[in-house]
Structure formats: C-alpha cells, structure tokens
Structure 1
Amino acid sequence: MPPAIYALLVVNFAVGTQGFVFGGLLSEMAADLGIPVGTAGLAITASAVTFAIGSPVFAVLLARLERRAILIVGLAILLLGNLACMAAPGFGALIGLRLVTGTGAALVGAVGGATAAQLVSPEKRGRVLALVLGGLTLAFMLGLPLGSAVGGAYGWRACFALSAAIAALALLALLAVMPRVPPIPGPRPSPGALLRIPPVRAAFATNFLAFVGSFCVVAFTGPLVNQVTGLAGAAVGPFQACIGVGSLLGLAAGGRTADSPKGRTALLAALVLLLLCQLSYASLLAGWGGARSAWLLALTIVLSAGALFAVVPILQARLAALAGAATPLALALNGSLVSLGQGAGAAIGGFTRNHLGFASAGLVGATIVLAAALLAARVLPRLGAGVTPREAAEPARPGP
C-alpha cells in the first residue's frame, strides 16, 4: 500500500476529530456559555453544514488543480481555525470560527477520497477507501476520548488545542510522503449530469438518511452517557471509544463486501441493524435499561457505529465505479451529504431533545433510518444497471 494512503488516513483522523472533539463536553460548554445543551450542538452543525456545502463546490472549482496543494491548504486552515476556537470569547464567535474550520475540512473533502482512489488500481478502490475512512474511526477511538479527557482536565476549550495538534500532525505526514497528484483527465465534472443518474441519486439519498437518523442521538454522546449512566467528563471517553471500535469493525466488513455481489445484502443488513440501534437508544433514554444500562449502552454504540460505517465504503466504491472522471465530485458530494446528515441529525436531535425529550430523539432517528432502509430495498437493486462512467462526466443538458 502506498505510504500516501496512510497519510490520508491521518488527514481524515484530523478532520474527524475536529468535527466532534468537544462532543463529550457539550454540557460543560453549554453551562459555561449560558446556553441550552441542544443549542451547544449547533457548534457541530456549523462545521458540518459548511463542509457539506463547500466540499462539492470546491470539487468543481478546483478540478484542474494539483491535489497535494489543496490538501495542504485545507489542513493549514484546520490548524489555525482550531487555535482560534480555543480563544473564542462567546458562542457567536465560536460558531463563526467553526464555519472557518468547516471550510478547511471542505477543501480536504473535495479531493481526499478521489486522491486515494487515484493512487491504487480500480480493483482495490473499495478496500483503500475503507482504509482511508479508518481515519474517522481513529477519531472516535482516540481523538474524541482524548478530547473528553483533556477537556475534563483543562476545560472544554482545551479540546480545540488537541484538535489543532492533530491537524499539525496530519500536515507533517502529508508533507513527508504525499507525492504530487494531478487532477483526473477528462471533461470538467458536472453536478447536474451526475445527479441525473438514478443509481447515483439513490446512493446519495441512502447515505444521507442513514447519517441523519444516526446523529439524532449520537451527536450528543456526552449528554447521552450522562443521562443513561450518570457518568460525566473523562468517564465519557470509553463510550466514545466504543464508536471507534464499532466504526473499525463496520469499515472492515463494508470494505470486504464493497466490490463484491454481496454488497447490496450487506448494505440492507447494516441499515436494519442501525434501525434497531436507534430503538435501543430510545429505550435506554426512557430508563428501561435498569442496572445494566451502561453495558447495554456500550453495546448499542458499538453496533450502531459498525452498522453506519459499513454503509459508507459500499456506497463509495459503487459511486467511484459509476462516476469516471467525475469521481472527485461524486465522492465530495457523498462526503458532503455525510457531513450534512451529521449536522442535520444534530439539529433535529437537539430540537427534539429540547421540546419532546431525549428519548424521542431516538424514535425520530429510527424513523429516518427506516426511510433509508426502504429506499435501499426498493431502489438500490438498480445500481449499476445501464450506466457508464462517461455519463457522469458529460455536461448536464437543460431540461424540457
């Protein structure tokens, strides 16, 4: 495996950590800034939505530029933006700075996955994309628990110092081993043409709904652990590590099936498991776990993360196969929908938590995941039917 693939893994580790590094300290952040916990969750949403909007835009605007330079600029913005977040004087300033860090993440997302796909042969794309996505797993296994430990010891602002340090590590790794990577030759990718392909639309929608439903609860991991187990601060870290363990297992399973005929079956199984996990969250938040609540919560987190992250490489590998020269745009759009799903899930979960109670957020999440599963069962059998990679790169034609 080229060393640059592992550098991209570290880059994803930095991006994933900055997105949620303070998630275990939302209650403490809210108390310090004098805002509801649900409102504090908007600090997650701000970065996620910026990533979601910016990533595909940058994929089109920067389609003719060398990839390594784009990644370096994105990581530099992440580094400086997180240092500024550490000193934010209030919640409004923090939201503004989270928009800046979201922009840095968007630059990385615009080319990161496609760069990984360019560095290996087509038959290895599914496994390589799963490996690079493993950086997000490391963020949950190491970055987020470290954030909770550091924030518990030194205050929630220290979480951003940790995120900046990880961004600096990723930047150094990139400078050390990443070669210059030219843009993919061919026509400039067209979002309109890409979205005209039915299986591509179905893959995008399934991924988006899965993340929206899951993040109605998991975006609030700190408050979730607080309410179900009574634990707080650094004690939240092991539960965040459970997300990483589940993600690692899910990526391994999804990566193995991504390029095989079993991909659709694995996808449907993962979505059904994700649905059951959202119902489990609702039950635990309603107080039905009893004396075993902590163990049941840890198991639910592992299974939920595993199911969610098994979905991603399966859909990404299929998108890369369909998109041809538009692969950077397809993967950027998919990544932006993942981020938008995370942000939308956090917003929906926060609103539901504030107005209907935390357990209701689990039920709302289950309903959204059910929609993803039904869509996959009905539409995704047509994935790959009669579609050539060239179609995704052709300019969009005006409608009638």
Structure 2
Amino acid sequence: MPLPILALAVASFCIGTTEFVIMGLLPEMAADLGVSIPAAGLLVTGYALGVVFGAPVIAIGTAHLSRKSVLIGLASLFVVGNLLCAIAPNYWLLMAARVVTALGHGAFFGIGSVVAASLVPVNKRASAIALMFAGLTLANILGVPGGTALGEAFGWRSTFYAVVGIGLLSVAAIAWLVPSGVAPPSAGGIASEVKVLGKLQVWLAMIISALASASLFAVFTYIKPILTDVTGISIAAVTWVLLLFGAGMTVGNIIGGKLADWKLMPTVLGTLTLLALMFMVMVKIADIPAAMIATIFLWGVLTFVIVPPMQMRVVETASEAPNLASTLNQGAFNMGNAAGAWFGGLAISFGVSYQYLPLVGTATAVIALGVALVSARLDRSSAALGYADPLRSTT
C-alpha cells in the first residue's frame, strides 16, 4: 500500500470506529447520561444527519483550498469532535459533539477518494480507493469490538479518548506522507463543482449508491432477530457471525477495487444481480445455521465489492470537478442507510416476517440494477466519455 494511502486508511479506520462503536455502548451511555436506550440511539441518527448535511457544505466551502490542507483540517475536526464526545457532561452536549464529529466524515471520504485516485496510475484508481476504504472495513473487525470491550471495561468515554489518540496519529501521517499539490482544486472553483451536478450520470451513480446501501440496511438493521429467531443462533454467537460479515466486507473491498479497475460498470451490474439473488437464497436457508452463516460472509463480500466501483464511478462522471460529487456520494450512502432501515421496519409493520425480510433487499437491489442498466446504456450510446483528467497534479 502506498504510504500516502496508508495515512488515509488510518483516518478511515478512526472514522469507522467512532461511527459504529456507539451501537455496542448504548446501554452504558444511556445509564451514565440518564436517558433511555432509544434516546441514546438517536446519537446514531444525529451522526448520520451530520454526515448528510455537513458533507456538501464543507466540500463547497473548501473547494478552493489545497486538498492536503483540507484533509488535515477534516482529520483535526474529527479529533476535536471525539474529544468533545469524551468530555461531554450531558446528553445534549454529547449529541452536539457527535454532529460536529460527523461534519467532516462525508467530506473526508469524498475528497480522500479523489486524492487516493490521483496517487496511482489510471488503471489502479479503484484499487487505491478500496485501499483507503480498507480502514473502514477493518474498523468493523478490530475497532468496533475493541472499542466496545474498552468501553465496557473502563467506561464509554475511554473509547472516545482512544479514538482521539489514533486520530492524532492519522493527522500526523497525512501531514507527513501525503504530498503537497496532490489533486489540485478544480480550476473553476465552487462554480465548477456545483455545475457538474447538472450531469445525469453523476446523479444516476449517486442513486445507485443510495439504493445499494438501502438494500443492505433493510435487512442488516434487523440481523440480530433474524439470526436468533429464525436461524436459531444464540445471542452470544451473533457477535462472531457479525465479525465474519466484517471479514467479508474487507475481502469484498479488495476484490471490488481490482474488478472495478478491470471493468467498472460490469462489476456494478454483476454485483447487484448477485445481491438480489443472494437475498432470495437467504429466505430459503434462513433456518439452516451453517448455510446462513456462509451466506452472511458472502453478503459481506458483495456489500463492499460495489463500494469502490461506485465511488470511482462518481469520480469519473464528475471528472471536471469531482470533489463535491464524490463527497455527496458519501451522503447518498448514508441516506441509503436510513432509508433501508425504514423500508425494513415498514415491511415488518405490515406483517412481513423476519425470514422473508430479505425480499425487501432483493426488491431494492433490483431497482438499483435497473438504474445501473440505464446508466450503462447511456455510456454505450455516447461515442466516448471524453472527460479530462483533473485528478493529477501538474506540478
């Protein structure tokens, strides 16, 4: 892994850890802050909203600045936000701190993707983006369980202090390892960043990202009752199954980067097709533990096979001014998270059993596949994409 991308991966590990570890610490946080567990759960919602609304504001506001300086600033904002979380004396100040922390999340991954792609040859860009996102997948295997264990042993605040320490390391690594002048700002500044949003292919790419994410969270949000009530797995074993899912995500992230460098849109189309079929298979084997566990691993693989190509797709279709679009794509993923959880909950409220809930994932993946087919057809109808390559520094 190139050292500059390693620095970005360390930062993505921190971001992934602090985003998801709170789910394992909700009871402890609720008890300490004197609120209900559902109220503590809103800290997750607050973070997601911070990502969605903060990402475009920061991307536009920093469009004229050096990409390296912006990344250092965003990583520093992340450190400050986690420090505020660690020392927050009450629930509402903790909520505010979570929102502050989230503001830089989408912009970091969006701008970081552009920077990572600019550091390698054209035929390895998706793999470079995948390497940066490897920190996020590793957070689900190491950071989240490790942070949960630390919080249970020494109090939930200790987890945030630990993330602050790793965050400071990432700031130093970015300052030291990422070259100056990398991925220069768009020549047209803010105007060109906003103008690129008028391209249909940019919006189609973000819609695919949102729908792919929704297909995941429509089912994954309710994975614990699916595994315990339908599959018959013990509560203690669920943690290990979810770690296996995280391992699948890590494998899929690497595969997705390599496949996207080879054939980007065929990778997207093939993965969405396999996801739709996998959810259908999940319905049939949900009550067979061994088969379900194997399917969970495959699900993790397919879930992240599509992430590097979709991020790369946005960077390509918005190549004249990729920073805002790439950042908005992170917001699209988070909107998909929220929408998917709502779709799944709505299905359950209408009487769909946990066993058949994966069919909601199938339906969403099929819609995403339809949008991807439209996008691919538009590609074929064009004589050539003919986009410039602003990702590389001319210095």
Q: Same fold (TM over 0.5)?
A: yes
Secondary structure in structure 2 of the residue aligned to 1:383: helix
Deviation at 1:73, TM superposition (A): 2.0
CA distance in 2, matches of 1:152, 1:203: 40
Distance across 2 between alignment mates of 1:92 and 1:64: 34
CA spacing shift, 1:173–1:28, aligned 2, 3 Å: same
Structure 1 residue aligned with 2:365, among 369, 388, 397?
Answer: 369
Q: Kindly state the Cα deviation for residue 196 of structure 1 after the two structures are TM-superposed.
A: 2.8
2: CA distance, partners of 1:361 / 1:165: 40
Aligned with 1:299 (options 290, 294, 297): 294
3-state SS, counterpart of residue 141 of structure 1: helix
User: Which whole-Å CA distance do the structure 2 matches of 1:166 and 1:174 have between them?
Assistant: 12
**Contact 1:202–1:380 under 8 Å retained in 2:** no
Moved more, 241-250 or 296-305: 296-305
Question: Does structure 2 retain, via aligned residues, the 8 Å contact 1:268–1:373?
Answer: yes
Q: Does 1:194 align with 2:206?
A: no
Partner of 1:230: 234
State the distance in 1 between where 2:87 and 2:226 align: 27
Deviation at 1:271, TM superposition (A): 1.5
Q: In the aligned structure 1, how far is the partner of 2:87 from the partner of 2:279?
A: 36
- Aligned with residue 337 of structure 2, among 334, 339, 342: 342
2:214 matched to which residue of 1? 212
Aligned to 1:396: none
Per-residue CA deviation, residues 312-362 of structure 1 (Å, 9 max, x unaligned), is: 222222333332231222211212212332244345556766886882764
1:382 maps to: 378
Q: CA RMSD in A?
A: 3.4
1:151-195 superposed Cα distances (whole Å, 9 cap, x missing partner): 343454444334333323322322332222352352225455323
CA-to-partner distance for each residue in 1:352-382, whole Å, 9 max, x for gaps?
6688688276444443223212222344332
- State whether residues 22 and 151 of structure 1, in contact with CA within 8 Å, keep that contact through their aligned partners in structure 2: no
- Is 1:135 aligned with 2:135? yes
Unaligned stretches of 5+ in structure 2? none
Q: 1:271 aligned to 2:269?
A: no
Which residue identity lines up with residue 188 of structure 2 in the other structure? P
Q: Which moved more, 1:152-161 or 1:383-392?
A: 383-392
Match of 2:248?
A: 246
Q: 1:57-206 alignment to 2 at 5 Å?
A: 57-181=57-181, 183-188=184-189, 190=192, 192-206=194-208
Give the count of matched residue pairs.
Answer: 383
| 8 Å Cα contact 2:219/2:358 also seen in 1 | yes
Kindly provide the CA deviation profile for residues 289-329 of structure 1, in whole angstroms up to 9, marking residues without a partner as x: 25x2xx45543332222112111222222333332231222
1:35 correspondence with 2:36: yes
Query: What is the rounded CA distance, in whole Å, between the counterparts of 1:298 and 1:110 in structure 2?
Result: 33
Correspondence list, 1:47-58, <5 A = 47-58=47-58
What secondary structure is seen at the aligned counterpart in 2 of 1:229? Answer: coil
Please say if 1:308 is aligned against 2:287: no
Contact 1:8–1:132, Cα closer than 8 Å, also in 2: yes
Deviations 1:15-41 (A, max 9, x none): 21121112334466567755355x644
Inter-partner Cα distance in structure 2 for 1:304 and 1:181: 39
Output one character per residue of 1:110-142: Cα deviation in whole Å (capped at 9) or x when no partner: 421111122223222122112111111111121
TM-score, normalised relative to structure 2: 0.82
Check the 8 A contact 2:150/2:158 in 1, yes or no: yes
Q: How does 1:17-36 map to 2 (within 5 A)?
A: 17-26=17-26, 34-35=35-36
Structure 1 CA distance for aligned equivalents of residues 238 and 165 of structure 2? 21
Distance 1:156 1:278 in 2: 35
- Per-residue deviation, 1:3: 1.3
AA at the equivalent of 2:268? L
Pair 1:122–1:18, CA change in 2 (3 A) = same
Q: 1:13 is paired with a residue of what secondary structure?
A: helix
Instruction: Give yes or no for contact 1:243–1:305 (8 Å, CA) kept in 2.
Output: yes
